[in-house]
Structure 1
Amino acid sequence: MDTALRQHAIAICDAKIAQKGDAVGLSFYAFFANKNTTPPLLMQAAEWWIATHRLDHFEKATKIRALLASGV
């Protein structure tokens, strides 16, 4: 996952955690607006989420943030 997308995803996780608490779940779709304006980035996030880490559709934002921050 490229650096800009990783930083954006971390910011989204931080916002969701701040808004709804540590138990909040999200999917990789949370990193994007409802319109698919950047298909390559969407595919990059999907590959990171599904193929690389084999995550469920919804995961705890704290878990995703930790993975993103570790650079994995």
Structure 2
Amino acid sequence: MRAELRAKIIQICHKKIASKGDNVGLSFYAFFANKNDDPVLLMEAATWWIQTHQLDHFVKATTIKRMVEQGL
């Protein structure tokens, strides 16, 4: 996963955790606007989430943040 996407995921996870608490869940769609303005980056996130790690649709933001920070 490219550094740009890693940074974006960590930033969004921090924001969601700060506003909704440690139990907040999110999907990979949380990292993108409602319009598909970067389909390549969206597919990269989807591939990491669904194909590489076979995650459920909603996962705790703390889990995603930890995985990304660990380089998984």
TM-score by length of 2: 0.98
The residue that corresponds to 2:29 in the other structure is 29
The residue that corresponds to 2:5 in the other structure is 5
The residue that corresponds to 1:45 in the other structure is 45
- 1:34 Cα offset (Å): 0.3
CA distance, structure 2, for counterparts of residue 5 and residue 64 of structure 1: 13
Which residue identity is paired with 2:58? F
- 1:9 Cα offset (Å): 0.6
The residue that corresponds to 2:63 in the other structure is 63
> C-alpha deviations, 1:4-61, integer Å up to 9, x for none?
1110110000000000000000000000000000000000000000011100000000
Give ranges in structure 2 of 5+ residues lacking alignment. Answer: none
TM-score by length of 1: 0.98
Q: Count matched residues.
A: 72
CA distance, structure 2, for counterparts of residue 52 and residue 67 of structure 1: 12
